[in-house]
């Protein structure tokens, strides 16, 4: 059984979460996808407790956002999907489900985070929503269905060599189009799906705030360990803007992507790429 599934089942809230979502069509796979996103959401929300409202776009059964309100200090979570769902959502506090087109959403000035697990063909739309709504400070998205990526066609030869997948190129395309943010791509091998790249974008203004958050609190009220933990959480949740691509792992595909991405061809902003 997957590490993420074991971790989920060990949570005291796991039964309540499953009661709220209703039947999961591919339970193990969906749990690993949601738990992977939660890991990155955790680093942001623990740094600034009860600061953010979470929007789960193309939410499906809303497993990820329901997990978020059970596990993390978020103000609220709003799941949005075009299709009507039959979950027991009324039993979850600080949670709302909207049957709505994500393009019709309006974002006020409240600090928000967008999460999305396998949004199918809406991934480009979600990037646009992040770019045009400055109150959305962070984006965590696991794309799935491959779309069109004309602006990275210079990498087409990589796919033809069978060493880089179309999915990796699609992920790169989406990450390139994110503006005013520090961006990194993580491939989480603990996810039971071949579509397991995660794009994490942190708006530059939010990164600055996170890095200096300890100066806003009275250091007299924090122990040295508390201060270090907050600073580490802020650092772990962002990428180093202006640095070269960072890859961990020695597999040939990672090495090839590193070489290409470090060349800077077609990149609008520096990115980090991790393979867990």
pLDDT digits (tens, 9 = 90+) for 144-181: 988 776 655 555 556 565 567 888 888 988 998 999 99
Catalogue the long-range contacts made by 156-160 (C-beta closer than 8 Å, 24 or more residues apart).
158/256, 158/260
Q: Is the pLDDT of residue 253 over 80?
A: no
Q: Is the pLDDT of residue 74 over 60?
A: yes
Tokens describing residue 13: 């809230």
Q: What is the pLDDT of residue 201?
A: 96
Q: For 54-65, write each residue's pLDDT tens digit.
A: 999 999 999 999
Q: For 207-249, write each residue's pLDDT tens digit.
A: 766 655 544 444 444 444 443 444 344 333 333 222 223 333 3
Nearest to 140 by CA among 114, 102, 159: 114
Nearest to 168 by CA among 185, 151, 193, 184: 185
Q: Is the Cβ–Cβ distance between 146 and 118 less than 8 Å?
A: no
Rounded Cα–Cα distance for residues 102 and 89 (Å): 19
Homologous superfamily (CATH) of 3-147+163-239 is: Vaccinia Virus protein VP39 (3.40.50.150)
pLDDT winner (highest mean) among 20-24, 134-138, 148-152: 134-138
Range 56-75 average pLDDT: 98
Helix 14-21 to helix 63-71 angle (10° resolution) is: 150
Q: Which residues contact 52 (CB under 8 A, 6 or more apart)?
A: 44, 45, 74, 75, 111, 112, 113, 137, 138
Q: Is pLDDT larger for residue 132 or for residue 163? A: 132
The angle formed by the CA atoms of residues 126, 174 and 181, to the nearest 5 degrees, is: 80
Tokens 């967008």 map to which residue? 114
Domain segments of the chain as ranges: 3-147+163-239
Rounded Cα–Cα distance for residues 241 and 94 (Å): 34
Q: What is the pLDDT of residue 208?
A: 62
Rounded Cα–Cα distance for residues 272 and 263 (Å): 13
Q: What is the pLDDT of residue 235?
A: 36
Tokens 């961006």 map to which residue? 183
């Amino acid at each position: 059984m997957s590490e993420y599934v074991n971790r989920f089942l060990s949570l005291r809230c796991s039964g309540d979460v499953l009661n709220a979502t209703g039947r999961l069509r591919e339970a193990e796979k969906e749990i690993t996808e949601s738990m992977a996103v939660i890991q990155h959401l955790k680093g942001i929300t623990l740094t600034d407790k009860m600061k953010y409202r979470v929007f789960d776009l193309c939410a499906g059964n809303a497993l990820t956002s329901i997990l978020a309100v059970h596990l993390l200090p978020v103000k609220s979570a709003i799941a949005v999907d075009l299709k009507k769902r039959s979950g027991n959502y009324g039993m979850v506090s600080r949670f709302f489900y909207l049957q709505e087109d994500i393009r019709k959403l309006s974002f006020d000035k409240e600090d928000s985070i967008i999460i999305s697990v396998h949004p199918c063909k809406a991934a480009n739309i979600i990037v646009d929503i992040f770019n045009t709504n400055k109150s959305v400070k962070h984006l965590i998205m696991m794309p799935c269905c491959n779309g069109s990526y004309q602006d990275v066609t210079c990498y087409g030869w990589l796919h033809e060599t069978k060493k880089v997948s179309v999915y990796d190129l699609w992920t790169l395309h989406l990450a390139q189009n994110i503006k005013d943010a520090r961006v990194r791509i993580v491939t989480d091998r603990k996810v039971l799906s071949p579509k397991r790249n995660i794009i994490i974008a942190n708006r530059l203004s939010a990164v600055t705030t996170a890095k200096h958050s300890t100066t806003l609190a009275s250091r007299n009220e924090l122990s040295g360990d508390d201060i270090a933990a907050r600073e580490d959480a802020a650092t772990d949740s962002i990428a180093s803007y202006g640095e070269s691509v960072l890859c961990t792992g020695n597999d040939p595909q990672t090495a090839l992507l590193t070489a290409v991405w470090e060349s800077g061809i077609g990149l609008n902003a520096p990115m980090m790429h991790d393979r867990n």
